[in-house]
């Protein structure tokens, strides 16, 4: 098999004609060795301390165990380390034990699950919610349940992988990212041909940190008789006057048909939710296979109840986060770097070349900065970038260290000239 490793991506190894699973695994191992030898294997890096603005790692060849400024966590408000949230998790375990023991239909539905479903529905001012054990499953499982072969999912092409997975049993029509003409065309053309049509968009997009024009999307979707589902995984706690995300900014909390999201980012835990009308949620509770046949969240998820309260009780975290976002984005722009259309806690530096992106990732690590190089298939090949997430708990010295590292790397690799 001929494959240029320099230009390759993980996607190239997904399925290779004529190679069985073990042969593919062996060939993939060669590719990983190639990346490892160059210091370009940046997946599954082992972090020894907890989630935070600074983490401890011992990367072979990088001078032993040391601290790195971390820009890889979506713990936007720093809640994974909040004393009251940790205590709520411990209290949950002390009261209920460490596990739920069964799927919800047959004994695994406890009072704290009921409280969490009611609380997250109430957070959005809505009727009902269902929880799943990950944000990924919340999207994929709910869509798998709602959309069948007579139906259609109309997807912004940049939605999260979990949404695509949820559309395996239905028809998919993708529209160009945030392009309202393309959305309208898809809605018009499918009006008489498909039964249930759900338009799925993110609030904040996970790779560019840009925002969906939700008002226009909702208007078009409802005009053509379709339903709107918004995954605002990266907007909650970050956007909206009271942290309810982009949907709150558009004053549409009572208008979006289905809201999905995750407990793994701002809420500082793990799990996912879908919020909608009481009947639709009840249908999911009894029909969604991944909910029905899989164990419920552990009692440690009681931490989420506290995190939801603290979004209202301690709004200063959202303010601190925004101070950091503005400072950091201005700093990167001041260096002549291209941060695209970011308007959230996710800030990319566009590089647009896979080997160069990997090299910048390595140089950042050498400078004590941990950030993610993102390449195809997560983004288009010509769209490779370093992706960073900011936290309320990053300090100015943390951010200055990152900006100084970018200044040095930019000079060394002549990054500024790439944008001319």
Interface pick for ligand PMP out of 231, 248, 257, 359 (rule CB under 6 A): 231
Q: Whole-angstrom Cα distance, residue 297 to residue 304?
A: 11
**Smallest gap from residue 223 Cβ to ligand PMP (A):** 26
- What are the E-state strand segments in 92-145? 128-132
CA distances from 95 to 79, 267, 357, 408 (A): 22, 21, 48, 52
Listed residue (302, 350, 287, 295) closest to 120, CA to CA: 302
Nearer to ligand PMP, 202 or 383 (CB): 202
| Given 80, 134, 190, 372, the residue binding ligand PMP (CB under 6 A) | 134
Which residues from 242-281 bind ligand PMP, rule CB under 6 A? 262, 264, 272
Residue nearest to ligand PMP (CB): 135
Q: Residue 342 in contact with residue 209, Cβ under 8 Å?
A: yes
Judged by CB, which is closer to ligand PMP: 130, or 409?
130
Least Å distance between CB 111 and ligand PMP? 23
Distance in Å, CB of 360 to ligand PMP, minimum = 22
Question: Which of 151, 156 has the CB closer to ligand PMP?
Answer: 156
Does the footprint of ligand PMP cover residue 39 (CB under 6 A)?
A: no
Number of residues that bind ligand PMP (CB under 6 A): 14
Q: What is the DSSP letter of 179?
A: -
Q: Does 170 bind ligand PMP (CB under 6 A)?
A: no
CA distance 416 to 335: 8
CB 374 within 8 A of CB 385: yes
User: Rounded distance, CA 69 to CA 400, Å?
Assistant: 10
By CB under 6 A, is residue 131 in contact with ligand PMP? Answer: no
Instruction: Tell me how far, at minimum, the Cβ of 160 lies from ligand PMP, in Å.
Output: 4
End-to-end CA distance of the chain: 38
**135, 235, 237, 348: residue in contact with ligand PMP (rule CB under 6 A):** 135
Strands 152-156, 128-132: pairing is unpaired
CA atoms within 13 A on the CB side of 174: 9
CB 117 within 8 A of CB 265: no
φ, ψ at 270 (rounded to 5°) = -150, 150
DSSP classification of residue 47? B
The CB-of-207 to ligand PMP minimum distance in angstroms stands at 9
How far, CA to CA in Å, does 64 sit from each of 33, 68, 348, 368? 21, 12, 28, 12
Query: What secondary structure letter does DSSP report for 51?
Result: S
CA distance 285 to 307: 24
- Could you tell me which stretch among 28-36, 79-87, 133-141, 372-380 binds ligand PMP (CB under 6 A)? 133-141
Give the interface segment with ligand PMP, choosing from 129-137, 277-285, 321-329, 387-395 (CB under 6 A). 129-137
| CA pair distance 270, 134, nearest whole angstrom | 6
Nearer of residues 186 and 346 to ligand PMP, judged by Cβ: 346
Signed CA dihedral, 276, 136, 204, 393: sign only = positive
Q: Which of 84, 49, 70 is nearest to 393 (CA)?
A: 70
Instruction: Name the residue nearer to ligand PMP (CB basis): 243 or 272.
Output: 272
* Residue whose CB is less far from ligand PMP, 236 or 325: 236
State which of residues 233, 246, 374, 405 lies at the interface with ligand PMP (CB under 6 A): 233
| Complex with ligand PMP: residue 139 or 301, whichever CB lies closer | 139
Q: Of 42-50, 90-98, 226-234, 319-327, which segment contacts ligand PMP by CB under 6 A?
A: 226-234
160 binds ligand PMP (CB under 6 A): yes
In whole angstroms, how close is the CB of 139 to ligand PMP at the nearest point? 6
At residue 255, the 3 state secondary structure works out as coil
Judged by CB under 6 A, does residue 136 bind ligand PMP?
Answer: yes
Report the nearest approach of ligand PMP to the CB of residue 37 (Å): 29
Q: Which stretch binds ligand PMP (CB under 6 A): 83-91, 135-143, 250-258, 312-320?
A: 135-143
Site for ligand PMP in 196-215 (CB under 6 A): 202, 206
Interaction of residue 301 with ligand PMP, rule CB under 6 A: no
Q: What is the distance between the alpha carbons of residues 360 and 148, in angstroms, rounded to a whole number?
A: 44
As measured in angstroms, the least distance from the Cβ of 211 to ligand PMP is: 12
Q: Is residue 117 a contact partner of residue 276, using CB atoms and an 8 Å limit?
A: no
- In angstroms, give the least distance from the CB of 293 to ligand PMP: 18
Q: Tell me phi and psi for residue 23, to 5 degrees.
A: -65, -40
User: Which residues are near ligand PMP by CB under 6 A?
Assistant: 134-136, 139, 160, 162, 202, 206, 231, 233-234, 262, 264, 272
């Amino acid at each position: 098999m001929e494959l240029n490793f320099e230009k390759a991506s993980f996607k190239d190894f997904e399925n290779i004609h004529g190679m069985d699973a073990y042969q593919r695994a062996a060939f993939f191992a060669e590719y990983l060795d190639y990346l490892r030898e160059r210091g370009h294997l940046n997946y599954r890096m082992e972090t020894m301390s907890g989630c935070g603005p600074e983490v401890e790692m011992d990367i072979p060849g990088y001078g032993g165990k040391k601290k790195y400024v971390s820009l890889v966590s979506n713990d936007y408000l720093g809640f994974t380390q909040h004393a009251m949230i940790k205590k709520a998790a411990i209290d949950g375990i002390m009261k209920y034990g460490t596990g739920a023991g069964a799927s919800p239909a047959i004994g695994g539905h406890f009072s704290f699950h009921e409280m969490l479903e009611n609380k997250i529905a109430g957070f959005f001012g809505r009727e009902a919610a269902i929880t799943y054990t990950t944000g990924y499953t919340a999207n994929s499982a709910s869509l798998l349940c709602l959309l069948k072969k007579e139906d259609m999912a109309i997807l912004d092409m940049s939605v999260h992988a979990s949404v695509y997975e949820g559309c395996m049993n239905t028809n998919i029509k993708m529209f160009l990212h945030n392009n309202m003409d393309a959305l309208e065309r898809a809605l018009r053309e499918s009006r008489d041909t498909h039964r249930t049509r759900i338009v799925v968009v993110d609030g904040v997009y996970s790779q560019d940190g840009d925002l969906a024009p939700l008002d226009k999307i909702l208007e078009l979707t409802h005009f053509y008789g379709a339903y709107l589902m918004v995954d605002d995984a990266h907007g909650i706690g970050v956007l909206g006057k009271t942290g309810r995300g982009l949907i709150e900014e558009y004053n549409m909390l009572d208008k979006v048909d289905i809201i999905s999201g995750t407990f793994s980012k701002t809420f500082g835990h793990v799990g996912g939710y879908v919020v909608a009308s009481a009947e639709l949620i009840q249908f999911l509770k009894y029909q969604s296979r991944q909910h029905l046949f899989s164990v419920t969240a552990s009692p440690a998820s009681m931490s989420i109840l506290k995190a939801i309260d603290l979004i209202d009780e301690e709004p200063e975290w959202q303010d601190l986060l925004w101070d950091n976002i503005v400072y950091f984005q201005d700093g990167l722009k001041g260096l002549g770097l291209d941060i695209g259309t970011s308007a959230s806690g996710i800030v990319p530096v566009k590089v647009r070349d896979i080997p160069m992106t990997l090299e910048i990732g390595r140089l950042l690590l050498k400078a004590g900065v941990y950030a993610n190089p993102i390449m195809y298939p997560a983004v288009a090949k010509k769209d490779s970038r370093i992706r960073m997430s900011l936290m309320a708990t990053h300090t100015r010295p943390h951010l200055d260290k990152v900006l100084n590292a970018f200044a040095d790397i930019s000079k060394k690799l002549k990054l500024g000239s790439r944008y001319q």
